[in-house]
Structure 1
Amino acid sequence: MEEECAEVVVNVNHPRLDRIYHYRVPEHWERPEVGVRVTVPFGYQTVQGWLVGYSSPPAGIPLKEISGVSSPEPVLTRELIAIARWMAEHYLHPLSEILKIMTPPERPRRRLRSPVPLKILSPPRPGKVILTREQVVALKEIISSLRAREARRFLLYGVTGSGKTEVYLRAAAAAISLGRQVLYLVPEIALTPQAGAWFRAVFGERVAVWHSRLSRGEKYRIWEGVKRGELRVLIGPRSAVLAPFSDLGLIVVDEEHDPSYKQQEKPYYHARDVAEQRALLNKAVLVLGSATPSLESYNRAGEGSYRLLTMFRRPQGRTFPRISVIDLRTEQDLGAGFLSRYLREQIQLRLERREQVILFLNRRGFAPLVFCPVCGYVLKCKNCSISLVYHRTTGDLRCHYCNSRCRLPERCPWCGSAKKLTLLGSGTQRVEYFIRRLYPEARIQRLDLDATRKREAFARILDSFARKEIDILLGTQMVTKGHDFPGVTLVGVLNADLALNLPDYRAAERTFQLLTQVAGRAGRGRIPGEVVIQTYHPGHYSIWSACRRDYLSFYREEIRNRAYLGYPPFEELIRVRILGEREQEVKSLASALAEEFRELLQEAPVAVLGPAPAPVLKARGYYRWQIMLKGKCSGSHGKIKACLDRYYDKTNVIINVEVDPFGF
């Protein structure tokens, strides 16, 4: 019987070379383990690759030998290789690029500290937290599945402040007591310190936090600790879902609805879906938690794919905040800071009581539109087809797509008029400027991307706010995510309509989620809270449902719309985006590709929409056209990939394929 040959994925960045290659293992070698890095002859060069399995050699093909083994121990587990294969097939992405992001950092040259030894597990804060009946019911089901070692999936739908974190902690304690590991995912890096503090208070040094800002040495130490089973809990954003667990027993995806779980650059993947696959392979329990579940997850719960657990009460009898809606169409005294008279009065009242305020405006900068009052010319980015935003703190104009900057010109670049350019609209910087003048004695802090560029700035701001060193926290969507500040008794949403105007079929869902999440920051302590929502569309179902805390009404309306229009979860979407420096070339190739899709998929239940210009035609110097494939796409992935392979050699353009795209 002929000896098996090695299956190797080469680390060559070209979609047309994305397949398994077969090599012989030299006769005098011990057989390398699956998961090691190898060097192999490839064409006229030697390249790096991954040994991903063994199989019978293909008939009639002379095989080359593996040149060397780069890592004596496997860098990838068999389970991760299986996950990578699933991701490559599901997301139509080269397997080599997925294996690359799974590969751990190289071991640093300096000596690492010894790992912290495991200690005996103690129960989480015994006697300090009294569980509600809903928490007890949820925990009973989760722990029962953990003990049975079932690959069970739960959707934990709990209103803001209902105690979901306590359920996560106690479920983690149960998993660890059974000798298994826990993965706890959060949407943003900025949320990892808070989550790390929760888990370290219970489980001590067996907890690690993983994210992209760690040093190479820190990453290596954590990676090895997880792989060897020395670390029992790993906390992190979406990249942590690819860590090499030795015995993964529980996965928690907190705020599962959050779009940050979808990677917006290659390789495109959704951490929630990858977590589900890992749970199945490991016979682990998956808990998706949210106060505003994604429509896809809630629909799966309705179909029986997920077990729905609900928590509608806040512990210790805490009440929900009162919600007041301000109709901006009738507001006579809005002011430059976009604050209605009622909201200004409520802020003043909270300051007098020494209570805290959160103001939410999901738009950075001082003025999102700068134009000439003489000719009407709008200043736009030279690299992107979008308007420049004026930032008062630095005195420059910025593009929020490519981050290019320029000074505010003294004359209009179009007509040459010396008349002062008009700054239109409100961003967080303009509101900050206005409220500092309105409340000169208040301690005010802005929380957005511009204010948190320095390392640890986000954590410092939140820590100061938690210690009540800040009276008013003004921010973008950063302020909506999972924070617990008992001193906050007023939340103001300055413009609830911003997300509604996005060219995205999820716009209503995103609006409902943002409003519900930011409203949940108020009244989490003993003092009742209030939420003031300012809107031009008080009758829109996403807004009035959020004001009534009525997820089911929103879900019923939105799911009807999705069914009528054929959007997920009823149909699948694949976006094929073509990018290039010359628009006509991009447009021509997009047209040719769309025609080939139509011919190839004419018998398949898939509609080919487009080509059409992307909503932002030009970004970072590249023109962008796109084709949407809509329907039962998963059954046609092979045909779609074969079609794309014929176009990847067009060297003057870039083709990006995104399954289940977020943002348009």
Structure 2
Amino acid sequence: MTPEHFEQGQLVAVLTTQPLDRLLDYKAPEGGVWLGAYVEVPLGPRKVMGVVWGPGKGDYDHSKIRSVIRTLDVAPMRQEMRSFLSKAADYTLTPMPAMLRLATRAPGLGDPPGKRLVYRLGPSRPDRMTAAREKVLAVFEEYGGLSFTLGEVAEMAGVGTSVVKGLVKLGAVAEEEAPRDTPYPPLDPDHGGKDLTPDQAKGAMVLREAVRSGTYGTTLLRGVTGSGKTEVYLEAVAECLRMGRQALVLLPEIALSGEFIDRVEARFGMRPAEWHSGVTSTERRRCWRMVGQGDAQLVVGARSALFLPFRDLGLVVVDEEHDTSYKQEDGVLYNARDMTVLRASLNGAQVVLASATPSLESWANVEAGKYARLDLTSRFGAAVMPKMRAIDMRAEDLPGGQWVSPTLANGVRDRIAKGEQALLFINRRGYAPVTLCRACGHQIGCDHCDARMVEHRFLKRLMCHQCGETKPMPTVCPHCEAEDRLSPVGPGVERLAEEAAVLFPEARIAVLSSDLYGSARALKAHIAEIAEGAADVIIGTQLVAKGHNFPKLTLVGVIDADLGLQGSDLRAAERTFQLMRQVAGRAGRAEAPGEAVLQTFQPEHPVIRAILAGDEEAFWNAEAGERRAAGVPPYGRMAGIVLSSTNSQEVFDLGAAMARQDGPLRRIGAQVYGPAPAPIARVRGRHRVRLLVKAEKSAPLQAALAEWVGQFRLRGELRIQVDIDPQSFY
């Protein structure tokens, strides 16, 4: 359908990225403007970006209406994208300007096309090498010959631009003119397809047929770890490319993208477009523009890639669809998995939700007939699923302050002797979760949050995992001023590494924790080294559960399998089950059989028994029964309301007033719980009060919430944040 064109002088309604509660009217510029065009408009003394959203109202003095300054040289926003932003805004109760900001997060969109100077590795090496020059050359070598702007090279290398220019004069760095944005090289769907197992071939055929239909549909691709889910959904990507449509693969973790990009290049002959915080601003702009023009066939990205302006989106894959990182927890609160389904339904696209341990929401949608389901039941090649067993910690003779049981330690020594790798897993970053004064009992907390500070011994600092505040590790108790009485309590990944060094003195030990690396590139490089055998014992947090392949890893030891079972989170059992199964699945990928060992004080707990038995359907059925009886997601609806202010009294007063004036919610049968202090009652100096709203599955919750919240005018420092379908309850 041809978009509507507005002639010069006609009134158009423009949605801007500014925090306004309405569209603004402007006159179309010389030459007119198309519906959906990205434009620059005057707003007071400033120039701001916006999108032509429709015809203007024109119910006031036209002489005072200003004109659109110019139309940006990018593809207009398509109708399905405008619908997606509007529906996503309605569902999440987000103002439209905030949604538009999500959809325009690329630098320099208003810059005119043209040439720019870029820099790449030159043919020679300088006679005299300095540390600064070494850093610059290392950047180019790390990125395999890519070109960058002067500012990007200097920033990535941590040097001044004069160092780069000096290397240009010496011929070690080449300076050349290049188009500002260039299309991505075409991908070949028939380039590098692998021989599939019968299990994989059957799944690939079903997905290819779904893509060929050109209609919307969602398929849950469930396969045990190591079953080759990636190869199966890449066949769906290939079919999408053959049809001339675009594909998007969402990954939960930047650290996964390097290995995945290599697999895509091997399969299709060229590298895809990337969209995540690890790519340069130049590449982000190029990706955004080329996606809109149709000159990027495949994008691999983080959750925000869902808001790119695809010209013809035919397939979205959500890899590790159960992963909690798909939920945006600040700014615009949305779940990328759910928004993917919405976007695909508007684009006539297929969705593949891939996971070894699906979310209960996706499992329930399959049971309800909303999603199709494909199961891959066997591991690829010779690898078999690891044996799983529990170590009853009540029967282990373990000294205080130690965390690796004698039984597990002996298993690790056995694997090291065979030249294999062992993984010790604990889902806690840092050295110790609590620093306690043995004299007065004081626990060192954050100055800005109601959270304990975590010791990071490698960094020699205490860190708040809520707001990121750090401070040096004190030697004197800040409460009673006793010297040398501060003691770490409980294990973190760094403390576990310290213990492993004592238990396995000859072993090469590697720690994998996201906070220990200065960049995603450094983390990727370390993961690649470990996969090639650079470590005997890996100490890791949940980062290691996310799709990394360690061919020599044959033993996984979970240090505290009970850790996730405590607390009031309605998803605690589900997340523990998923995490333990994912971690266990790291073991035994190659010919050597794998084993997963869970240290637990509760071997009789239903979740632990379900993990060991491997009976996932029984677990899901039991968990679904409990949630259904309680009327909670996915069999009911919930919303979290967080009120915050620097003044604790006014935030409690507002919460009490909201609880009293809940008429709009009572009319739809919803219940309001609270107000109560949020579990973390102060973050970055702001006091937080939480209310929870619970309603039946069919209740029109968003409309009632909007009416309810709309009754209250916020003054001063007060803020209200509405979280539809909350994933965390902090």
Structure-1-length-normalised TM-score? 0.93
**In 2, distance between residues paired with 1:355 and 1:348?**
10
Q: Among residues 324, 328, 333, which one is paired with 1:268 in the alignment?
A: 333
Q: Is the 8 A contact 1:381 1:387 kept in 2?
A: yes
Q: Please identify, of 647-656 and 215-224, the stretch whose mean Cα deviation from structure 2 is larger.
A: 647-656
Give the alignment's Cα RMSD to 1 decimal: 2.3
Deviation at 1:79, TM superposition (A): 2.5
Q: Among residues 595, 598, 610, which one is paired with 2:674 in the alignment?
A: 610
Q: Is the 8 A contact 1:182 1:249 kept in 2?
A: yes
Deviation at 1:360, TM superposition (A): 0.8
Distance 1:593 1:122, change over 3 A: closer
State the partner residue of 1:76: 77
Deviation at 1:46, TM superposition (A): 5.2
Deviation at 1:67, TM superposition (A): 3.9
**In 2, distance between residues paired with 1:72 and 1:146?**
32
1:424-463 equivalences in 2 (<5 Å): 424-463=489-528
1:359-378 equivalences in 2 (<5 Å): 359-378=424-443
Report the number of matched residues.
654
Deviation at 1:353, TM superposition (A): 0.6
Q: Deviations over 1:114-165 (max 9, x none)?
A: 6357557252535x52x23322222222111222212111011111111101
> 3-state SS of the aligned residue for 2:329?
coil
For residue 491 of structure 1, what is the amino acid of its counterpart? V
State the partner residue of 1:619: 683
1:377-396 equivalences in 2 (<5 Å): 377-396=442-461
For residue 121 of structure 1, what is the amino acid of its counterpart? D
**In 2, distance between residues paired with 1:400 and 1:453?**
17
State the partner residue of 2:130: none
Q: Is the 8 A contact 2:184 2:290 kept in 1?
A: no
State the partner residue of 1:12: 18
**In 2, distance between residues paired with 1:120 and 1:469?**
34
**In 2, distance between residues paired with 1:369 and 1:54?**
56
Unaligned runs of 5+ in 1: none
User: 1:256 and 2:257 equivalent?
Assistant: no
Deviation at 1:206, TM superposition (A): 5.3
**In 2, distance between residues paired with 1:419 and 1:170?**
61
Q: Please identify, of 135-144 and 482-491, the stretch whose mean Cα deviation from structure 2 is larger.
A: 135-144
Unaligned runs of 5+ in 2: 1-5, 118-177
1:510-549 equivalences in 2 (<5 Å): 510-549=575-614
Deviation at 1:296, TM superposition (A): 0.5
**In 2, distance between residues paired with 1:271 and 1:122?**
27
State the partner residue of 2:410: 345
Distance 1:24 1:187, change over 3 A: same
Q: Please identify, of 98-107 and 286-295, the stretch whose mean Cα deviation from structure 2 is larger.
A: 98-107
**In 2, distance between residues paired with 1:116 and 1:90?**
34
Q: Deviations over 1:156-191 (max 9, x none)?
A: 111111110110121111111111111111111111
Q: Is the 8 A contact 1:397 1:406 kept in 2?
A: yes
Q: Deviations over 1:102-125 (max 9, x none)?
A: 113215783544635755725253
Deviation at 1:335, TM superposition (A): 5.8
Q: Please identify, of 307-316 and 334-343, the stretch whose mean Cα deviation from structure 2 is larger.
A: 334-343
**In 1, distance between residues paired with 2:558 and 2:282?**
42
State the partner residue of 1:142: 207
Q: Is the 8 A contact 1:35 1:78 kept in 2?
A: no
Deviation at 1:526, TM superposition (A): 0.4
**In 1, distance between residues paired with 2:647 and 2:375?**
53
Deviation at 1:518, TM superposition (A): 0.4
Q: Among residues 106, 122, 125, which one is paired with 2:192 in the alignment?
A: 125
Distance 1:370 1:489, change over 3 A: same
Q: Is the 8 A contact 1:159 1:313 kept in 2?
A: yes
Q: Please identify, of 478-487 and 30-39, the stretch whose mean Cα deviation from structure 2 is larger.
A: 30-39
For residue 211 of structure 1, what is the amino acid of its counterpart? H
> 3-state SS of the aligned residue for 2:560?
coil
Q: Deviations over 1:478-529 (max 9, x none)?
A: 0001112221100111001222224311111110000000011001100001
**In 2, distance between residues paired with 1:241 and 1:212?**
14
State the partner residue of 2:36: 34
> 3-state SS of the aligned residue for 1:110?
strand
Structure-2-length-normalised TM-score? 0.85
Q: Among residues 245, 250, 259, which one is paired with 1:180 in the alignment?
A: 245
Deviation at 1:652, TM superposition (A): 1.6
Distance 1:51 1:502, change over 3 A: same
Q: Is the 8 A contact 1:124 1:173 kept in 2?
A: no
Q: Is the 8 A contact 1:11 1:47 kept in 2?
A: no
1:489-508 equivalences in 2 (<5 Å): 489-508=554-573
User: 1:204 and 2:269 equivalent?
Assistant: yes
State the partner residue of 1:297: 362
> 3-state SS of the aligned residue for 1:433?
helix
For residue 615 of structure 1, what is the amino acid of its counterpart? P
Q: Is the 8 A contact 1:81 1:99 kept in 2?
A: no
Q: Deviations over 1:577-607 (max 9, x none)?
A: 01111211111111112222x1222211211
Q: Is the 8 A contact 2:641 2:721 kept in 1?
A: yes
For residue 376 of structure 1, what is the amino acid of its counterpart? G
Q: Is the 8 A contact 2:75 2:289 kept in 1?
A: no
State the partner residue of 1:98: 99
For residue 102 of structure 1, what is the amino acid of its counterpart? A
> 3-state SS of the aligned residue for 2:74?
coil
> 3-state SS of the aligned residue for 1:267?
coil
**In 1, distance between residues paired with 2:713 and 2:567?**
31
Deviation at 1:290, TM superposition (A): 0.6
**In 2, distance between residues paired with 1:72 and 1:648?**
41
Distance 1:636 1:514, change over 3 A: closer
Q: Deviations over 1:216-248 (max 9, x none)?
A: 111111222222222211101111111122121
Q: Is the 8 A contact 2:36 2:76 kept in 1?
A: no
Q: Is the 8 A contact 1:368 1:390 kept in 2?
A: yes
Q: Deviations over 1:174-219 (max 9, x none)?
A: 1111111111111111111111111111213351221122221111
